[in-house]
Amino acid sequence: MNEQSVIIQCKACGAKNRIPQDKPGLKAKCGKCGEFMDTEKTTPESGSQNFSTGNVYLVRCLSCGAKNRIPENKINETAKCGKCHEAIETAGLLSGRSMMVSDRDFESKVLRSPVPVMFFTFANWCPSCQAIIPIVEELAREWKGRVRVAKLNIDQNSLTAGRFNIMSVPTIIIFDNGQAKDRLTGAVPKLLIMQKMAPFI
């Protein structure tokens, strides 16, 4: 028996749910997080699951560690974790640009990032750093919504540089869930950065 149904996406956690079409107006609950969903603007499923909700991004809750799917149209709002219901700060994840960080905001922007971080350290006097900056900006555009690309000037932020034993620049450190996972030193090619980052995306 082939029951016609619609696919709707939970606004709270991003999970996709299949709802029978013969139950119009029925308040549906998300099968993942239990939140009520708006079922009014849904269309029947057609052969392949054809739902137009835009991109969905995977972000981590820093309170409980659960990964949540956030629809693109909600990414600049403060989302709630589907498991523990704590707020997840997602503002700025779709900028497509790197962000400067300092000793003062390193904790909030890097260690408490809801997505993995490519942390690029540099100095203005370093020619190798200047050579790799266009690659860093390319990756920020390509990884929009999936990876936060952060930059730190070591001459202006010696506390963070010392904390992670950054002895030469450029150095790239990969952070995930608040922990340093891997690092690269020198003007490395874009492909190598992508290979190192791949397990965390």
The catalytic site residues sit at 126, 129
**197 touches 118 (CB < 8 A):** yes
CA dist 55 and 146 (Å) reads 11
Which of 194, 45, 132, 113 minimizes the C-alpha distance to 16?
Answer: 45
Residue 196 CA to residue 99 CA, distance in Å, equals 20
Question: What is the radius of gyration, based on Cα positions, of the chain?
Answer: 20
Paired tokens of 93? 């994840």
